[in-house]
Chain A
Amino acid sequence: MRPACLQRASPLPDHLYMSDGDIIVQSCDLINFRIHKSALSLSSPFFRDMFSSPQPPADDGFVNGLPVVRLSDEAEVLDSLLAMLYPIQVPSMLPNSYDKSLMLLAASQKYNMFGVQSRIRAEIQSRKFPTATGTAAFRAYAIASCGGLSSEREAAARLTLDFPMTFECLCDALPLFEGSALRDLIGFRKRSRDNLISCFRSFLDLSSPPFNIWMSCTDSFSYSYSNYRTGYSPSWLIDLFQQHLKSLGQAFTRPLPNFENIREEYLSALQEHITSYGRTSCVTCTKVHVMNGEMFCKELENKLMRAISEVSNSLIFQRHLGGLRIHPSYRYPTH
């Protein structure tokens, strides 16, 4: 049965068409790629096996006298995939978005094109993709999950934490989810939230290192959060952590706190503290920051990063060889 696939709204410009090719590969949106059977066989055990076994005759099995292989992938994906079988010098075969690049990677996995897959992974790592939108992040997760791309799935799951997980945000990504992928992602988000809550709660115990460096702040005798405080601590820092704890109560309708933002948030809170209430400066905190601020920020970042990475490792899926980390420029735009 022909897989359901939409007709292309517009023809694919300059798609791969080798004049001396001996086989037609047809995409699900009915674009014909004329290529060499040997190129497919060489790169893919899947196609090698297919060509070595006798094929049943089909009435519509030929185009211009050439045998046709009909695939369920879209033309855009096949164009990139098939071009990678040839030593063509082009800037990049990757689509211009991360989720579409994952589609390409999933296609290479499906057809066991391991060499091509390595090249795609390398290109993805070196490429700076535009900043993801929420829907694109969820789409990337769904594609990686459906395509059995375990490393990418884990990375994409982390990426989705930067966006609310609501139906409005998933929107067009929702139809791509199959099986238990969505349930796993909900569970992942809940575990991430719980770990972050534990982590931020531990920050409120400012009597132990590294938080005890702030104990001498002149504003440290605020007891507004006495439920959590076990030592003397500056309220500006407590406020920062409390805000995160509060926002974690809405972990599905808001993005989760990100460890890469904590430094900026800390600096902003400190700045406000030392210039607030008409004071020109809180000398104590300024000194502490100058002496130990960097170490303190790193400690915060590490603790938060560990809280999330522990959860990432508990995602249940079949692990495959090879790994990938999302390029930081994709997750966080460089200005």
Chain B
Amino acid sequence: MLVALQCHAKQVQILDANMFCLELSTMSLSTMSTRMIGEPLSPSATSSSDVFPENLLFDDSDADIILQSCDHHEFRLLKLHIIKVSPVLQDRLQSASSSHAKNVTASLPSIQLSESGATLSCLLTFILPMVPVIPSTIEQTMILLWTAQKYQMDPILSRIRAVLTSQDPPFIRPETAFQVYSLAQMYGLRQEVLQAARSTLSRPFNLEEMEDVVDTVRGIYLHELWKYHHRVQTHLATDLMAFKKSGVPREKLGQPCNNGTRYWLGNYIDSIAESPALFDITELQMALLRHTNARPSRCRCADIPSKALHAFWTALTDVVHGCMTKVSAHGLRNNVISVTARILL
């Protein structure tokens, strides 16, 4: 109660997020709604590993609808909250309300959903004015996204994605990319498929170095991912060749080496097309270092100002990112649609 009073006194910022959410579990939704309306949401979300979302009680005293999870949790809510965010559930609520009108013995109209209590709890924290709760595992998080997508909760989906993007470390990063990619394919989450596929580009894509990740990706999706990498490499080869010939490298880095060429830079640019994982400023600096160390006399390349090197890197980044975006746009779409269709069937 002390914590709740502190919330009411707008001292949320001094509370530990975990403590705040634990307190949520002992408060009714109506109390929570009253106290939190108009207050900005906490910029950071908390994880369900700290909170156990199924313990969050959604028991609004003014509730006019019950959502039931597949594992028999009940969420008593105001219909308004749901119909505003989901056209799919709006339709189901209408039919549930009409059936309820014929069955006067039931307390409130209810909808049976196929999601678990944990997933629905997390989802509701994004629908209602509460601190959003992200599930603790990647798989549960993907189910949360899928659920929001399934019920066409577009604004909620955007909010979940925004929270995931702002996490530190990011939700989709090289270490999680393969698992996220596979799950996103399975659940038809196109945006995550593209982001995760792109994130996998920063890792070497050969089986010898993928022992630790291949069991997180189903073979069919790994096949798609391989084709995606192949397409990226093909596009990179073309675009980087054009970049090399464009004169931009000379413009950014100045005159070439003493021997009239800057072959080390050309080799480095070519290597990116063969292995996009080498697109890393450290790799560029290493290539430069190897070159200058290998020269018997002092090479002009050793005097390239760091500002010029960064200007070159920015230009190269534009080319590489532009290429990746181009591939993403027409690469994985067909597969995702087919997977989505399979799930919907």
Contacts and interface: CB of A to CB of B under 8 A. Distances in A.
Interface string B206-231: 11101110110011101100100000
B329 interface: no
B342 interface: yes
Contact of A182 (B205, B206, B215, B345): B215
Nearest to B219: A177
Contacts of B208: 165, 186, 190, 251-252
B219 A174 contact: yes
Interface string A94-113: 00000000000000000000
Interface in A147-183: 165-167, 170, 174-183
Given A1-B345, A166-B206, A252-B207, A183 B222 contact: no
Contact of B226 (A167, A178, A183): A167
A187 interface: yes
B215 A183 contact: yes
A175 B207 contact: no
B345 A174 contact: no
Contact of B223 (A175, A178, A187): A175
Contacts of A175: 219-220, 223
Interface string A69-85: 00000000000000000
A142 B226 CA distance: 18
B342 A174 contact: no
A182 B222 contact: yes
A4 interface: yes
B220 A167 contact: no
A183 B214 CA distance: 6
Contacts of A166: 206-207
Contact of A174 (B206, B211, B215, B223): B223
A165 B208 CA distance: 8
A252 B206 contact: yes
Interface in B279-302: none
B214 A182 contact: yes
Contact of A190 (B211, B222, B345): B211
Interface string A174-217: 11111111110011001000000000000000000000000000
Interface residues of B, number: 17
A177 B222 contact: yes
Contacts of B207: 165-167, 170, 182, 186, 252
Contacts of A1: 345
A179 B226 contact: no
A183 B226 CA distance: 16
A302 B146 CA distance: 55
From DSSP, what is the main secondary structure of chain B's interface residues? Answer: helix
* Residue from the set A4, A174, A175, A187 with the largest chain B CB neighbour count within 10 Å: A174
B183 to A, nearest CB: 15
Contact of A142 (B206, B210, B219, B345): B219
B203 to A, nearest CB: 14
A6 B345 CA distance: 15
A186 B211 contact: yes
A327 to B, nearest CB: 27
Nearest to A171: B223
A176 B208 CA distance: 19
Contacts of B206: 166-167, 252
A1 B345 CA distance: 8
B215 A180 contact: yes
Contact of B222 (A174, A180, A251): A174
Contacts of A182: 207, 214-215, 219, 222
A183 B213 CA distance: 8
A178 B206 CA distance: 18
Contacts of B223: 174-175
Nearest to B226: A167
Interface string A233-270: 00000000000000000011000000000000000000
Nearest to A170: B207
* Residue from the set B206, B207, B345 with the largest chain A CB neighbour count within 10 Å: B207
B219 A187 contact: no
A1 to B, nearest CB: 7
A251 B206 CA distance: 12
A1 B207 CA distance: 34
Contact of A186 (B214, B226, B345): B214
A186 B218 CA distance: 15
B211 A178 contact: no
Contacts of A183: 211-212, 214-215
A187 B211 contact: yes
A193 B76 CA distance: 60
A174 B222 CA distance: 7
A31 to B, nearest CB: 21
Contacts of B219: 142, 174-178, 181-182
A4 B342 contact: yes
A163 to B, nearest CB: 12
A1 B214 CA distance: 28
A124 to B, nearest CB: 24
* Residue from the set B214, B215, B218, B219 with the largest chain A CB neighbour count within 10 Å: B219
Given A179-B215, A180-B215, A182-B219, A174 B226 contact: yes
A181 B214 CA distance: 9
Given A177-B222, A183-B215, 15 more contacts: A142-B219, A165-B207, A166-B206, A167-B205, A167-B206, A174-B219, A174-B220, A178-B219, A179-B215, A182-B219, A182-B222, A183-B212, A186-B211, A190-B208, A252-B207
Pairs A-B, 9 closest by C-beta atoms: A177-B219, A174-B223, A175-B220, A183-B215, A252-B208, A180-B215, A186-B211, A182-B214, A167-B226
21 contacts: A4-B342, A165-B207, A165-B208, A166-B207, A167-B205, A174-B219, A174-B220, A174-B222, A175-B220, A177-B219, A177-B222, A178-B218, A178-B219, A179-B215, A182-B214, A183-B211, A183-B214, A183-B215, A186-B214, A251-B208, A252-B207
Interface of A: 1, 4, 142, 165-167, 170, 174-183, 186-187, 190, 251-252
